[in-house]
């Protein structure tokens, strides 16, 4: 059974409601619609949204083939992704860090720890900044980190700094998951990580934010079933791109025809 109902119930018992996984086309093209909103008293409680439901499913799929024991999360907000990782990997220790700059982010750290206690999870959320405090946070683990979710400040320079800091305290076979890569155009930072690390890096275009997964080549066969679902091959994406071009081309043709017809009518009225 998926962990999503359990996640929803944890927050509900603390007086919060959640909405996640909405189709942007149904909400005026709102790019944030698919992500997870924490709602209280009819308003969004924080401006730091959680990963989308489809991305929670990705965490579950990864846990089914690869079981990390020491998980670090950079960017906690209200704890949604950290709790999802802890539930998907019940034998793991999870530590989530957040700088506390977003709306209610400090309260979000307390909420995360309270919900972890409610669920009996080995999860702790701490106030800390990456990369400066990361080495100190890593001392929470008795051995090197073997999985990291990097979801802090969304700039090309920052994800490189975050990865470098995690790399220093990570196991040689650690797996790195980057959020919002395509949505925030973090491709340059990702390419710099690829060049420095030698990791295999796959863009997960079947996630709403366009996440990316970095892993040692030796783990490729283990992760292959997940990548087949969430990292469609270029030739498959080309089919979608072609369909998008045809749609846009038809729209342009209709628009031109419409203006030609209007122009002809105007000319008929002119003396």
For the chain, the structural domain boundaries read 52-230
Burial of 63 (0-12, 13-18, 19+ CB in 10 A): buried
Please state the rounded mean pLDDT for residues 170-182: 98
Q: What is the mean pLDDT of the chain?
A: 93
Question: What is the per-residue pLDDT across 122-146, written as a single tens digit (0 to 9) for each?
Answer: 999 999 999 999 999 999 999 999 9
The correct CATH number of 52-230 out of 3.30.1360.120, 3.90.600.10, 3.40.50.300, 3.40.50.150 is 3.40.50.150
Confidence category of residue 248, pLDDT binned at 50, 70, 90: confident
């Amino acid at each position: 059974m998926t962990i999503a109902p359990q996640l929803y119930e944890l927050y509900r018992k603390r007086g919060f409601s959640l909405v996640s996984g909405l189709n942007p086309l149904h909400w005026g093209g709102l790019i944030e619609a698919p992500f997870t909103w924490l709602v209280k008293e009819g308003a969004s409680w924080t401006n730091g949204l959680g990963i989308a439901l489809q991305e929670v499913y990705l965490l579950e799929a990864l846990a089914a083939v690869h079981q990390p024991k020491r998980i670090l999360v950079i960017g906690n907000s209200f704890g949604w992704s950290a709790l999802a990782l802890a539930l998907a990997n019940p034998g793991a220790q999870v530590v989530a860090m957040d700088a506390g700059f977003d709306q209610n982010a400090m309260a979000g750290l307390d909420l995360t720890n309270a919900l972890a206690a409610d669920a009996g999870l080995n999860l702790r959320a701490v106030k800390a900044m990456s990369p400066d405090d990361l080495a100190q946070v890593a001392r929470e683990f008795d051995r090197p980190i073997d999985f990291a979710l990097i979801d802090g400040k969304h700039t090309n320079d920052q994800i490189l700094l975050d990865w470098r800091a995690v790399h220093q305290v990570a196991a040689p076979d650690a797996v790195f998951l980057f959020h919002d890569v395509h949505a925030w155009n973090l491709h340059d930072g990702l390419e710099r990580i690829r060049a420095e690390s030698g990791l295999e890096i796959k863009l997960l275009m079947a996630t709403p934010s366009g996440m990316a997964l970095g892993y040692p080549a030796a783990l490729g066969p283990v992760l292959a079933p997940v990548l087949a679902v969430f990292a469609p091959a270029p030739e498959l994406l080309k089919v979608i791109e072609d369909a998008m071009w045809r749609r846009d081309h038809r729209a342009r043709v209709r628009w031109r025809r419409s203006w030609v017809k209007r122009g002809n009518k105007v000319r008929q009225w002119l003396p």
